[in-house]
Structure 1
Amino acid sequence: MTPFEHEDALLPSIDDNEEEIIYVSKSEIKRDAEALKKLGVELVQLSKNELSKIPLDEDMIYAIELAQKIKKEGYRRQIQYIGKLLRNRDIDPISQALDKLKNRHNQQNAILHKLEKLRDDLIDTGDAEPIIAWNPQADRQQLRQLARTAKKERDTNKPPKSARLIFQYLKDLSESD
């Protein structure tokens, strides 16, 4: 045995099947923590009803409700605490439920914008046909009457009471579908 072979025998053998050590940079850890804090802020901004639709445990719900009551510096620390709690949980179901809530909100906004456009077109043209085509249950006579009144109100710079009534009528029609 040569002197070099003897030294190799003293060194521990490295097995190729061992798990690799994954190095995570300090910056990456900070980015992940910041993302969890942002998720926590989004959760804190939800109403109680919306929060009940998110799959959270008792500790998280308590921490979020507490953060909703706190102001200034305490709020910042509570958000950090919520971020810390989120590190120990599977955030995929939470993120998915939050995205679902946001999408529902976006869909509602799109519907309201469509109703506003229908209302404005009705007031400008007085033609109720697009609304009748959209919803055959709409009362053509009532729509035309409200459109005439709304146009008069707009021309005389009065408050748009009839325009609001048209919008509410269209909203009620869309909800009845």
Structure 2
Amino acid sequence: MYDDYEDPDDERPSKSQLKRDMAALQALGVELLSLPEKRVAALNLSEALMDALAEARRIKGAHEGKRRQLQLIGKLMRHVDPAPIREAVAEFKLGRAQDSLQLHQAERWRVRLVEEDTALQDYIDTFPDTDVQQLRSLIRAARKDRAQAPEQRNGRAWRELFQMIKSQVLAQARADGTAGDDADVSDDDHDNHDDSDRDD
């Protein structure tokens, strides 16, 4: 009857606090799964925890096996220093946010270059190392493709233009120290979205 009584003068963590701490560690362990494997390896975690993370990655879906595996990760997390892990997760999230901003910047440049004649000089002023001849060629091809009926567009020039702009935007960001370490983002999501935007 009195098993759950918590003495207010007892300096040990309460049961409810221990439960919260365990839940926080399990949540941090789940966030480890979002990190690239090379970043996880750099944390020098125990072999047991590394194996548990690898197994969790192999389990697809949200069934009972995945839930039990995440609980195991939470238990193993009790034996590690969470501070470096929290720092690594925070740095990764910041890098992804910065990468996203730069990719959106690249997309805005692509739209401007195709839609506005005056944008070319602005772009050259911003990225003076640009291969202007190649850029002009890609802009012309993207405009020509865009003028076609939606079912006749192949989108190749549109994608190549984005690739060129993205590489320059990210290179400039790295030079400025504002690019994340994981800026290798596929263009597919942007291109799939853009194709729908260009069907007007």
Report what 2:165 is aligned to: 170
Q: Which residue of the partner structure matches residue 130 of structure 1? A: 122
1 or 2, which has the higher helix percentage?
1
Q: Is the 8 A contact 1:153 1:159 kept in 2?
A: yes
Aligned 1:81-120 pairs, distance under 5 A: 81-120=72-111
Q: Shift of the alpha carbon at 1:31?
A: 2.2
Tell me how far apart the structure 2 counterparts of residues 136 and 90 of structure 1 sit (CA, whole Å).
47
Partner of 2:181: none
Report SS of the residue matched to 1:128: helix
Is this contact kept in 1: 2:102–2:170, CA < 8 A?
Answer: no
Residue 79 of structure 1: aligned partner: 70
Divergent runs of 4+, >4 A: none
Q: Which runs of 5+ in 2 are unaligned?
A: 1-8, 173-200
| More off after superposition, 82-91 vs 137-146 | 137-146
Kindly indicate whether the alpha-carbon contact (under 8 Å) linking 1:53 and 1:97 is maintained by their aligned counterparts in 2: no
Shifted more, 24-33 versus 61-70: the winner is 24-33
Taking structure 2 as the reference length, what is the TM-score of the superposition?
0.70
Q: Compute the displacement of 1:128 (Å).
A: 1.1
Pairing 1:9-158 to 2, within 5 Å after superposition: 21-22=10-11, 24-71=13-60, 72-126=63-117, 127-156=119-148, 157=150, 158=153
Q: What's the RMSD between the two structures over aligned residues?
A: 2.1
Distance 1:166 1:69 in 2: 36
Letter in 1 for 2:22: A
Change (3 A) 1:53 1:131: farther
State the shift of 1:94 in Å.
0.9
Determine which structure has greater relative contact order: mean sequence separation of CA pairs < 8 Å that are 6+ residues apart, divided by chain length: 2
> CA–CA distance in 2 between the matches of 1:30 and 1:135?
53
Q: Mark the CA change 1:135 to 1:110 in structure 2 (over 3 Å): closer, same or farther.
A: same
Does the CA-based 8 Å contact 2:56-2:66 persist in structure 1?
Answer: yes
User: Compared with structure 1, are the counterparts of its residues 175 and 111 closer, same or farther at alpha carbon in structure 2 (3 Å cutoff)?
Assistant: closer
Deviates more, 1:134-143 or 1:46-55: 46-55
Instruction: Give the count of matched residue pairs.
Output: 158
Percent identical among aligned pairs is 37
Q: CA deviation at 1:55?
A: 4.1
